[in-house]
Amino acid sequence: MRAGLRELKEEGYIQEVIVRNERGQIIKHEYIVFEAPDPENPDLDERPLPDFPDLTKPDTANPPLLINKETNEKIHTNDKCVLNKPDFLSQTTWRRFLKRYGGERVQEVLGWVAIIQPENPAGYVTMALKDGWIEPATVRQARVKRAQAEQAAQAQRQAQAEAEALKARQAQELEVLYAWWTHLAPEIQDRLRETVGVDDVVRAGLSAFVAPTILMQPDPTQPSPLWLKVARHKMQEQGMGIPGRGD
């Protein structure tokens, strides 16, 4: 029986389709039976007649169809497109599709399969190629959703990077402020605590509404970053900077 099926497949009367589950395991083998030999079978128009063997030499030293000996799946097509054969297609069907429809078209349809993951990928690819499908709506919608998800993820990564950069800048600015404050003489620190007011808050670029909160110092030895910013701005207006170094 196996020998008969193999002969029918070679003659183009039967096309085998391997059906796999979602884990890649073979569930069953389906066969498409033709009343006449399948005209798309490349072996039919290339095999010599029994009494007239093919004696011609190949056109090139390296034929355009090559099978990688290591994986037995990678094929180079005439349009310089290198594709990996999916497990759900036989080598004969794979070669026939590449020869008839071209590597670019086959790759396009295989991309649809990767997006929507049909239950019978072999049958889906066969119908899509033979019937000349354009991109189905389900594929287009899935592709758009995936693109939107990638854009959202990219925007989230960018926002996170910006937040981390802002946090680093704020930490650096805070370090500079406290370094400036500790370099001040105690009498200058006391004078700033007494003289910094609402007008200084406004001139430092802050709102007068937050001035009471900024000016309130529960612990004079540990001034808040905003108060330090206002005090530093006040000293800069008076022509004074960080003692011992340029400002």
Q: What pLDDT, on a 0 to 100 scale, did the predictor assign at position 155?
A: 93
Say whether both 121 and 170 belong to one domain.
Answer: no
Same domain, 128 and 9: yes
Share of the chain above pLDDT 70, in %: 76
- The model's confidence at residue 56, banded by pLDDT at 50, 70 and 90, is very low
What pLDDT is stored for residue 55 in this prediction?
Answer: 47
Residue 24 resides in a domain: yes
Q: Is residue 55 part of a domain?
A: yes
How confident is the model over 227-235, as a mean pLDDT? 90
pLDDT, greater one: 24 or 127: 127
In this structure, the answer to whether residues 128 and 218 fall within a common structural domain is no
Same domain, yes or no: 227 and 150? yes
- Is 126 found in the same domain as 22? yes
Q: What is the pLDDT of residues 15-31, one digit of tens each?
A: 777 777 777 778 887 77
**Is 105 within a domain?**
yes
- Give the pLDDT band (50/70/90) at residue 49: very low
Q: Which helix (H) or strand (E) holds 164?
A: helix 137-182
Average pLDDT over residues 21-46: 66
Task: Tell me: do 7 and 129 sit in the same domain.
Answer: yes
pTM over 0.75: no
pLDDT on residue 38: 58
Residue 127 and residue 154 in one domain: no
Mean pLDDT over each residue of the chain, to the nearest integer: 77
pLDDT reported for residue 54: 46
pLDDT by residue (tens digit) across 144-188?
888 899 899 999 999 999 999 999 998 898 898 888 888 889 998
**With bands split at pLDDT 50, 70 and 90, how would you rate the model's confidence at 6?**
confident
Q: Token pair for residue 192?
A: 């700033």
Structural domain for 228, as ranges: 142-237
Buried b (16+ CB within 10 A) or exposed e, 131-166: eeeeeeeebeebeeeeeeeeeeeeeeeeeeeeeeee
Structural domain contains residue 96? yes
pLDDT value of residue 105: 92
* Residue 84: both structure tokens together: 């990996």
- Interval 184-207: pLDDT, tens: 899 988 888 889 999 999 999 888
| φ, ψ of residue 100 in degrees (nearest 5) | -85, -40
Q: How far apart are CA 91 and CA 85, in angstroms?
A: 8
Q: Which of 130, 92, 71 is nearest to 82 (CA)?
A: 71
CA dist., res. 34 & res. 23, Å (int): 31
Pairing of strands 82-84, 74-76: antiparallel
User: Residues 165, 169, 172, 178: what is their CA dihedral angle, to the nearest 10 degrees?
Assistant: -140
**245 falls within a domain:** no
